[in-house]
Amino acid sequence: MAPPLTPMLRQYRAMKAQAGDALLLFHLGDFYECFFEDAVTVARALDLTLTARNKSAEEPVPMCGVPVRAADGYIARLVERGFKVAVCEQVQDPAEAAGLVDRAITRIVTPGVVTDPANLDARANNYLVALCLQSPRPGHDARRVAGPLADGGAAAVGLAALDASTGEFVACEVAAGRDLADELSRLAPREILVPAPLAASGLPDEVAQGAAEGRWRIEPRAAESFAVPGAVARLEALLGVSGVEGLGLGGRPLATGACGALLAYVEETQRVAPRHIGAPRPYAPGGTMALDEATRRSLEVLAPASGGDQGGRGRGAGSLLALLDLSVTAMGGRRIRRWLTYPLTRLADLAPRQALVAAAVAAGPARARLRSALDRVADVERLTAKAALRQANARDLAALGRSLAALPAVADAASAIAPELAARLDPLDDVAARLAATLVEDPPAGLKEGGMIRPGVHAELDELRSLREEGTGFIAKLEARERQRTGIASLKVGYNRVFGYYIEVTRPNLHLVPDDYERRQTLTQAERFVTPELKAYEEKVLSAEARILDLEYELFTELRDAVAAEARRIAAAADVVAELDAAAAFAEAAARYDYVRPELTEGTEIVIEEGRHPVIERMPLGERFVPNDVRLDTSANQILVVTGPNMAGKSTYLRQVALIVLMAQVGAFVPARSARIGLVDRIFSRIGAADDLSRGRSTFMVEMSETAAILRSATPRSLVILDELGRGTSTYDGLSLAWAVAEHLHDDPGLGCKTLFATHYHELTDLARTKPRVVNLTVAVTESDGRIVFLRKIVPGAASRSYGIQVARLAGVPEPVLARAQEVLANLEGDEFTESGQPRFARRGARRQAPAPQLALFGRDRAS
């Protein structure tokens, strides 16, 4: 049997039991220590030395620790790795403890509830998501969840998402399966709350997969925490309302339950009422364009494809986001990311945003003034959240105060662009004034060391401070008086931490020391004394100092609570700031990059004159970017088959059309001479043989499953980009599949989606002969001296040949190989093959009886 635990370790065990599956950091003097299995986990995760408590004992207890001063960084690293961390503090002064110091868990940090801006990407939200779905009852199809049916027959799931660091709070109901997967990939949450019974019986694939890939952590929660009555009570308490009908959640029990689960979790982990969180904003993914992850990635909306960033954080250069995010505030940056993740599909929703951007484009000088005013606004959303969660220090509040003080200038500049929005911007003068009047210019980070509060704020504080300041004068006077009284010219009054105030007399003068001097300390050259007067003074000063620190802390927390009480007003102002900054950024991009305002219609035509690829045109190409037109409709130009040699510009053309449509539907201006965009409900973009090694599936399998998704979910209003479909398999398989897919997109009356199809299968150009809505396009090239020259111009017609060998020459493949390739090509084109599909080499047959091994590749295709 293990030896009994020490009282301290027993206390640790009790705390650990409370912490559940969180790692427990146990405050012990200057360290946070971990014990037992947590110590092993933490030592490994943070690369710390694992030691042991009771080393000599038979069963030493594994232990590791981090210094309290540096704990935040370590905690952030643990959370970044997907762990949940409970911080257990000493809540009693060790000097006052009779035995063991009292300890309590004061906060729990989890990946979904990170609130310290230092550990967050300023330009992305950090979402915690709750999913309210029921576990399958025994005897039911295990893959069907038992919620009410959403449109389309799939079970509905209640989804709520909260960024505790900003207060952003949204809720919706979506269909399980693909829609849920899309929504999760847009939100990119770090943690997902699910009912425990469901976690035990098997999570839906789309939820389980992200967890397996380390994209989010799953937190199973008791089923009761998703119950509607509890959720309503929580929302009522948070918002101070009675009934939640006014919130637009009526008739949405699953979304309501998800909101309740989120709030319960935040309260549990933060241990304070999150007053910065407002009413959840119900939204219908229906009004927005569903952009699945594959499309977002292939269009490089949020991150470049090579960046390895799967729709996560960061402003990956080379992405559409990096290009368009010219915002100057963190709120604006997050808003632009949201706009790009949720393009709009309804003209009525888009028109006001586009008008706002257009107004900002038109008003150049006002825009410049607006942006420079906005530049003085820090991340007020996150600063306010910190205040509401009682984590803000005086520097945070001072920064908040300075930001709020810039709001009148923001409103003033904005009134020339968007009078209504400007009028909606609460300048928060009262809060700004209180902050400015209370806090000193540049307060310290510590809360217990004073120096935060201005003079004139609190009478007693002022008095105590002048007492402290008078001190210097008092000591000088006392010193002079004592020198005179004793006749010791070298007598000094000093102070040290251990003995306090003293009078120092050097040895030769000791005989002059009067009777009322009391010895305190003996040094080699001198003795130190105190007098009753000096002692009384010391007491007064020291207690004044302590009282000053207490008072300052008290006044600071009062101020912080006052800010928290205004959190919703500040959040409303931050919302306007985000909108203005994001719109001004789009306008700035339009002006800098020469974009035009697209005409948005509810029709089905997409007509772009001289369109450009927004990202590639800005890259150093070594050649001028050549603009191209496009016309897509549902009558004569439904499917554009684009052929042309490798490197000619096919992929660029396809993507630029998709990006221009996407930009138009987020309210931005577009890189073109003119554009008329019939709004689309979805954009699908697929690249053949895209490497998706991270998922461990074969590229061809990925390609086909993505194609299947398009065939299943595209509508006549969708825009489909298929780039080299079928490249992932053998030539004839690929060609047949590509052919059949194109035919189906054309013929199926339910589809009819506008499609751009780039392919190196020239055979596909034959489709246009029989299919009335198929149009052939090609990228013009010319040849000079056997070298290919790319003209980058899209013209009607089919590529006459593939120019593969010329492109290989451009790429530096050695001449003998090219010559041989030319030879093989001639044979293939002349259909000179043996029975087994090997090319014949009549002229040079003697030397080449055994075909080179790579030729078997051609042979196999031919034979199959």
Q: How many Cβ atoms are within 10 Å of 67's Cβ, its own excluded? A: 11
Q: CB under 5 to 8 A by kind: which of Mg ion, ligand ADP, none does 280 bind?
A: none
d(CA 471, CA 544): 11
The answer to whether 810 contacts ligand ADP (rule: CB under 6 A) is no
**Which parts of 636-655 interact with Mg ion (CB under 5 A)?**
650-651
- Total of residues contacting ligand ADP (CB under 6 A): 14
d(CA 686, CA 755): 11
- Total of residues contacting Mg ion (CB under 5 A): 2
The answer to whether 648 contacts ligand ADP (rule: CB under 6 A) is yes
Q: Determine the residue with CB nearest Mg ion.
A: 651
Q: Determine the residue with CB nearest ligand ADP.
A: 649
Q: Where are the alpha helices (DSSP H) in 328-417?
A: 330-341, 347-362, 364-374, 380-388, 394-405, 407-415
Phi, psi of 841 (to 5 degrees): -130, 70
**Which parts of 270-329 interact with ligand ADP (CB under 6 A)?**
none
d(CA 119, CA 317): 21
Nearest distance in Å: CB 446, ligand ADP: 54
Half-sphere exposure of 780 (CA within 13 A, CB side): 9
Q: How many residues does the chain have?
A: 864
Nearest distance in Å: CB 666, ligand ADP: 23
DSSP 8-class letter at 721:
E
Q: To 10 degrees, what angle do helices 347-362 and 567-593 make?
A: 70
User: 155 or 756: whose CB is closer to ligand ADP?
Assistant: 756
d(CA 650, CA 738): 16
Nearest distance in Å: CB 685, ligand ADP: 13
CA nearest to 320, candidates 33, 18, 685, 673: 685
Q: CB under 5 to 8 A by kind: which of ligand ADP, Mg ion, none does 626 bind?
A: ligand ADP
User: 312 or 318: whose CB is closer to ligand ADP?
Assistant: 318
3-state secondary structure of 144: coil
Q: What is the Cα 60 distance to its own chain's centre?
A: 42
Q: CB under 5 to 8 A by kind: which of ligand ADP, Mg ion, none does 652 bind?
A: ligand ADP
Strand partners, 34: 64
Task: Name the token pair of 180.
Answer: 């849920």
Residue type for position 488: I
The answer to whether 646 contacts ligand ADP (rule: CB under 6 A) is yes
CA separation (Å) from 620 to 318, 457, 653? Answer: 12, 58, 18
Nearest distance in Å: CB 689, ligand ADP: 13
The answer to whether 825 contacts ligand ADP (rule: CB under 6 A) is no
User: 45 or 616: whose CB is closer to ligand ADP?
Assistant: 616
Nearest distance in Å: CB 709, ligand ADP: 23
Q: CB under 5 to 8 A by kind: which of ligand ADP, Mg ion, none does 623 bind?
A: ligand ADP
Q: Which of 335, 337, 386, 650 binds ligand ADP (CB under 6 A)?
A: 650
Nearest distance in Å: CB 185, Mg ion: 25
Task: Name the token pair of 449.
Answer: 């060391």
Q: Which of 647, 768, 818, 821 binds ligand ADP (CB under 6 A)?
A: 647
* Contact by Cβ (8 Å): 489, 470: no
Nearest distance in Å: CB 723, Mg ion: 6
Query: What is the contact mask toward ligand ADP in residues 606 to 645, using x (rule: CB under 6 A)?
Result: ----------x----x-x-xx-----------------x-
Q: How many Cβ atoms are within 10 Å of 160's Cβ, its own excluded? A: 29
Nearest distance in Å: CB 729, ligand ADP: 19
Q: Which residues contact 765 (CB under 8 A, 6 or more apart)?
A: 641, 643, 776, 798, 799
Q: Which of 401, 649, 671, 839 binds ligand ADP (CB under 6 A)?
A: 649
Q: Which residues contact 74 (CB under 8 A, 6 or more apart)?
A: 32, 46, 66
User: 403 or 778: whose CB is closer to ligand ADP?
Assistant: 778
Nearest distance in Å: CB 616, ligand ADP: 6
Q: Which residues contact 362 (CB under 8 A, 6 or more apart)?
A: none
Q: CB under 5 to 8 A by kind: which of ligand ADP, Mg ion, none does 621 bind?
A: ligand ADP
Query: What is the contact mask toward ligand ADP in residues 763 to 802, using x (rule: CB under 6 A)?
Result: -----------------------------x----------
Task: Name the token pair of 176.
Answer: 């399980």
| Site residues, ligand ADP (CB under 6 A) | 616, 621, 623, 625-626, 644, 646-652, 792
| Site residues, Mg ion (CB under 5 A) | 650-651
